[in-house]
Every structure is written in C-alpha cells, then in structure tokens.
Amino acid sequence: MGTFDQRPRLLLSAFLMNTSSHILGGMWRHPQAQQHRFHELAPWVDLARKLEDAKFDAMFFADVVGLYGDHEGGWASHVRKGLQVPSHDPLVLLSALAAGTGQIGLAMTSSVIQAHPFQFARQLSTLDHLSNGRVAWNIVTSVLENAHRNFGGASLVAHDDRYSWAEEYVEAAYKLWEGSWADDALLADKANGIYADPDKVSKINHRGQIYSIDGPHLAVPSTQRTPFLFQAGSSPRGTQFAATHAEATFLFAPHPQYVAKKVAQLDTNLQAAGRRRQDLKVFAGLSFVVGSTEAEAKALEAEYDQYLDPHAIIAHIGGGLGIDLGGLELDTPLGQVQTEGAQGVLEAVLASTPGGNPTLRDLAHYRAKAQQLVGTPEQIADQLEQWQDAGIDGLNIMNHVLPGSYDNFIDGLLPELRRRGLAQTQYTPGSLRHKVFGRGDRLPSNHPAAAFRGAFTHSSAASGQPEQNLVP
C-alpha cells in the first residue's frame, strides 16, 4: 500500500455511449439496468448531476456511425442484441447536458469521416461557449467499413491511411480554432458601430489533399479555442498520433504491465513530437464491482455474470476487427489475424493471453474480466496504486448497469480513494483543460496547433484580398 499523501490524484471519467449496449454486452437485460432508456433525456441529466456531485472530471461518450462487421453471416444479430444499434448522436445530447451541469467535462467522440472539419469546428466552438469551456473531442478514424460506406467511401480505408486523413483533418480544425480570430478581434463597440476588427479576423485558405477551406471560422474563439483533445488509438500509428496531438489517451489495458509498455512507447513518441510526458494524460478503461466485504463483491460479480452475453461481446470485438467470429465454438483459437480494423485492440488481447493464441472464450473474458476490478474498497484501491505506478493518470470507468455501476463506485470506492488522496473533493475553477493541467485554458506552445496562432494575418478582412468564387 502506498503512502497516501505522496500520490497524485487519479482523473475520473465515466465511459458512456448514447445506446443501450456499449462494452459489456447483454447487461441491458439486468432488472436494475436503465440503459435501455438511452433515448430519454432525464436519465442522462440525472447521471450527469450525480457524477458532478461526486466531482468526476468528465463524462466520456463513445460513438459509432455505422454497423459493426458481420456476425453469424450478417447484421441481424447486431439488431437482435442491440450491439450499438440503435445509437444516438452524443453532440446533441451534450448540448442538453451542458445546460444541466456547471463543472464536469463533456467529452464526445467524432470520426474524421462523419463531419466536414469546417462544420465540426463550428459546432465544437459553439458547444465550448455554451458549456463555458468544458468540451473535449475524442478523435477517431472509424474502424467500421459500414461507417465509411455511410459517408460515401467504397470500403474501409487502410489503417495508416486513416491516420494520414486524421492529420489533415486536425490541421484544418486547428487553423480555424487557433488562427482565424485574434483574441481581441471581437469589439461589439456600440458607440462606434464596430462589431469586430477586420485586421484581426482572417481566412485560413487551407488547401490539402482532402479538404479545401477558405474560412474564416464563423465562430468567435471559445474559452478553450481548441477543445480538450482525447485520442483512443493504441496501435503504433495510433500511439504516434496521440503523442503528437492528444492531451489524453485512452487504453484498453489488460494489466499494469501492458500499461507500462504502452507508456514507454508514448514517452518515445512524445519526445519525437517535441512534447513531454506531463503533456499527455493516460486513462485506463476499467470496470469495478465493489463490496463492503470480498464475499459481497463476489456475489455482485456473480449476479452481473448471469447477464453477460459472451457472444455479444465477441460480435463487438470481431466486428471492430472486421472478422466474422459468429457460429464458432467459444474454444476456437483466434489464430494469427491480419486486419485493417482496431489493431490496438487485437494487440491488447494477444498480450493478455498466455501463449499469445487466445480462444474466442479468452476474447470475451478479456473484454469483460481482464479490465474488471472486484473486491473491497481497500483491495481495489491497492490495485489502482499498482496501475498508477505503471503509468496511468486516470480511469475511464466502464459500467455494467446504468446508473447502478456509478452508484457502486461513488458509494463504495470513492471514499477510500479520497482518503488516500487519489480523488478530488472539489473542482478547480476554469475550463476542462485548466482543471486537468492547471496551466490555463489554451493549448501550450509546444502543441502543433499553436503554430497557427497569428499565422493568417496576411489574409485578414482588412488585407484587401477580394472574395473569390462568389456565386451570384
């Protein structure tokens, strides 16, 4: 057990999705589960207020914009099991939650394939204004072929090419967020009739392989300008992208040793990107079953296990890998898999299984159990100190049932974490970025987005450059 007063606190995020079945397939059937009401506003508002009262740092919403790959020869099983279909748009939900909360961070997933960067940058700036600087973007590239086809693609773009796409996407967004408006451009000077200073509002004139954007950004700079940046890829290319751009990265890690390996990779990539380890927070995705005694915790775990559907979990993972694992016995070895899908997920599965050739049963166990901590508050807190020693800075807390899993965490484990100094008791005033890093609302100067500050003054409204391609 560590010395309580010498450890930094753990950042706490609730890992959610605006759907009925997210990570732990089948749990929506539990009598106390309310996730089947995902399409209603009231349960989300209640949960947001509960998490804010507990001083969680963020609500982190996953998302998909297409079906997972086929299971059992098609997609009927996805509909039957509710495998992230139906699912609703987290951006719209967060707009409502921003009005019902005042401190908790609001993180949403959006893929580079689903929205043009000009429109997306405007939406996020608007939401950052309305939430007083509490918005975060989880940058993803979409591993699902159906998602790419939903947005005009012929097929799934190759893994590394998706990250090249993401590089241009974030560059265009950075130009809009950081370079289009000076901080003092907006005057709203009623006496002189000047709303904004033409010298300080600029077009970005981005010309890339994928996007052509003139600008200017139509939203005035928000509290954070660029939203807080999450990234969840853990492949070698994903780790490189995270080290270059992300302020927080999210790992599906089967054990602390895997965390240590990934953090070492991140350290190397951070140095190559001119950034430091303290510029990037590492979150581990974990679920918790807490009891006042070990027997009580085991009993609750057994109760949850009755509702877990291993076939739904396998459909979820296989669909992300682009492999139909349906119709196979649970003891079938996964074998050597080459995939353009979620390569980091496959790497973590192989790392968690002795011998490196897991069965489908191992696959389901990895997702449901390898990242689940069960026990008394003291036992779990001891384990979390080991995860922290391996390199994590925070927890992205998965749920079995909504809202009960968070009640179990808040009532059972949180008091012990606070006793050890591992959880905050009050919010730091300011934006989400300032709450997390304590160094102001804006990205630091060593982040690539900072290069675009003041970079487009030659294209300001006062520069005399004519508007091009006017449509009569």
Instruction: Count Cα neighbours of 408 within 13 Å in the Cβ-side half-sphere.
Output: 26
Fold assignment, 11-183+195-459: TIM Barrel (3.20.20)
Taking residue 6's Cβ as centre, other Cβ atoms within 10 Å add up to 7
Cα–Cα distance, 349 to 339 (Å, whole number): 14
Q: What amino acid is encoded at 263 in this protein?
A: V
pLDDT at 472: 29
pLDDT at 466: 65
Comparing 407 with 4, which gets the higher pLDDT? Answer: 407
Among the residues of 428-471, which ranges form H helices?
Answer: 432-437
SS3 of the chain: helix, strand, coil, percent, to 5? 45, 15, 40
Contact 183, 223 (CB under 8 A): no
Dump pLDDT digits (tens) for 251-281: 988 899 999 999 999 999 999 999 999 999 9
Q: Is 63 annotated as a binding residue?
A: yes
Q: How many percent of the chain have pLDDT more than 90?
A: 75
Phi and psi angles of residue 355, each rounded to the nearest 5 degrees, phi first: 90, -20
Comparing 468 with 180, which gets the higher pLDDT? Answer: 180
Cα–Cα distance, 417 to 5 (Å, whole number): 12
pLDDT at 469: 44
Q: Is 109 annotated as a binding residue?
A: yes
pLDDT at 2: 46
DSSP string, 294-345: HHHHHHHHHHHHTT--HHHHHHHHHHHHT---TTS-TT-B--S---SS-HHH
Confidence of residue 470 (pLDDT cuts 50, 70, 90): very low
Dump pLDDT digits (tens) for 386-420: 999 999 999 999 999 999 999 999 999 999 999 99
DSSP string, 256-273: HHHHHHHHHHHHHHHHHT
Question: DSSP code of 376?
Answer: -
Q: Is 19 annotated as a binding residue?
A: no
Q: Is 235 annotated as a binding residue?
A: yes
Cα–Cα distance, 362 to 152 (Å, whole number): 36
Cα–Cα distance, 164 to 167 (Å, whole number): 5
The residues that bridge with 110 in the sheet, in sequence order, are 139
Enclosing H/E stretch for 383: helix 377-390
Cα–Cα distance, 257 to 160 (Å, whole number): 26
pLDDT at 36: 96
As a whole number, mean pLDDT of residues 104-133 equals 98
The residues that bridge with 135 in the sheet, in sequence order, are 106
Q: Is 163 annotated as a binding residue?
A: yes
Dump pLDDT digits (tens) for 343-368: 555 666 666 666 667 777 777 777 77
Cα–Cα distance, 34 to 405 (Å, whole number): 11
Instruction: Quote the mean pLDDT of the chain.
Output: 91
As a whole number, mean pLDDT of residues 27-35 equals 96
Cα–Cα distance, 270 to 299 (Å, whole number): 43
pLDDT at 317: 79
pLDDT at 347: 65
pLDDT at 315: 83
pLDDT at 248: 98
pLDDT at 340: 53
Question: DSSP code of 452?
Answer: G
Comparing 103 with 233, which gets the higher pLDDT? Answer: 103
Comparing 235 with 96, which gets the higher pLDDT? Answer: 96
As a whole number, mean pLDDT of residues 287-294 equals 98
pTM of the model: 0.91
pLDDT at 314: 84
Identify each DSSP E strand in 366-439 by its residue range: 372-375, 394-398
As a whole number, mean pLDDT of residues 174-197 equals 97
List of residues 6+ apart from 74 with CB closer than 8 A:
none
Comparing 131 with 471, which gets the higher pLDDT? Answer: 131
Report domain extents, the chain.
Answer: 11-183+195-459
Dump pLDDT digits (tens) for 133-175: 999 999 999 888 999 999 999 888 888 899 999 999 999 999 9
Phi and psi angles of residue 362, each rounded to the nearest 5 degrees, phi first: -60, -40
Q: In this structure, is the dihedral angle defined by the CA atoms of residues 396, 400, 403 and 408, taken in order, positive or negative?
A: negative
Comparing 361 with 56, which gets the higher pLDDT? Answer: 56
Comparing 290 with 23, which gets the higher pLDDT? Answer: 290
Find tokens 């043009």 and name the residue: 116
Residue 33 clears pLDDT 60, i.e. is over it: yes
Q: Is 46 annotated as a binding residue?
A: no
Dump pLDDT digits (tens) for 223-252: 999 999 999 877 889 899 999 999 999 998
Beta strands at 206-207 and 194-196: parallel, antiparallel or unpaired: unpaired
Cα–Cα distance, 168 to 264 (Å, whole number): 27
pLDDT at 404: 98
Q: How many residues does the chain have?
A: 472
